[in-house]
Each structure stands twice: as structure tokens, then as C-alpha cells.
Amino acid sequence: MRPSTRFALGVAIAILVAATVIGCGDDVVLQSIAVTPSPATGDVGGADVQFTATGTYSDSTTSTNISGLTWSSSDVATATIDATTGLATCVGGDGVTPTTITATAPITPGNAQTVSGTAELTCNIPV
């Protein structure tokens, strides 16, 4: 191989390695999650409450189709939530103290760094 060919090949490999290590700046990442409705109210034994998460990304786009999204409740004695659908069920409560519903997703698929958004759900016990 001629020296000029080896040099060109070496430069090409260096550029490829640098682009792989530091990235090309084109990665779109999840920056925030908004959860609706908030605040929400539900009744024990009544209709479930459907929550929706809307992600905002680094390229200013928004989407409700967020990869790796999971849902949780801060107090499962008051409200449970399906971890994949965001459908909450009131199972207890005092009609005053809200339970925090949280939607969490990785900033990019498979990434350990996450972003979360929250909403409040107050559950009533009908008399």
C-alpha cells in the first residue's frame, strides 16, 4: 500500500472512531414529560382515570408514543396504575390528599438516564 493511501485510510478511520465516540450531534433525546389530566379526581368503585404522557424532545417535537414509558403511583393503597397503559384505579382515599402519578422514560431507548413527569390524582370514597 502506498504511503498516501495509508495516510488517507488512517484519517478515515480516525474520523469514524471520533464520530462513534463523541456522536454526530444528531441524537434526538427526550427532555421532558407532561402528564394529563392534572389534577384529576376519581371515585373508589367508579370509572378509572386514563392518564396520558406527552414527551418533548431535543428537536422541539412532541409525541405521546414514548419508548420505554412506565407508570407508577406514589400510594398504591389509594390508587393503582397500570405500568404500561397509564390507566389508574382509585382503591382508597380521603378525597383531600392527592396521590402522585408518575410517568418515566429513558432519554433515548435503552439509556439508563431517565426523565419523569407527574400528575396529581385525588380519590374519593362515595357515601
Supply 104's cell numbers: 418515566
Helix (H) or strand (E) segment spanning residue 8: helix 3-22
Give the pLDDT confidence of 86-95 residue by residue, as tens digits. 999 999 999 9
- Confidence grade of residue 1 (pLDDT, cut at 50, 70, 90): low
* Overall pTM surpassing 0.85 (yes/no): no
| pLDDT tens readout for residues 14-57 | 443 333 333 445 699 999 999 999 999 999 999 999 999 999 99
Return the C-alpha cell found at 3.
504511503
Residue matched to cell numbers 393503597: 77
Residues 101, 116 contacting (CB under 8 angstroms) = no
Query: What is the CA 94 to chain-centroid distance, rounded?
Result: 29
Average pLDDT, the chain: 86
**In this structure, is the dihedral angle defined by the CA atoms of residues 92, 74, 100 and 28, taken in order, positive or negative?**
negative
- Domains along the chain with CATH numbers: 27-124 (2.60.40.60)
Please tell me the distance from the alpha carbon of residue 127 to that of residue 125, in angstroms, as a whole number: 6
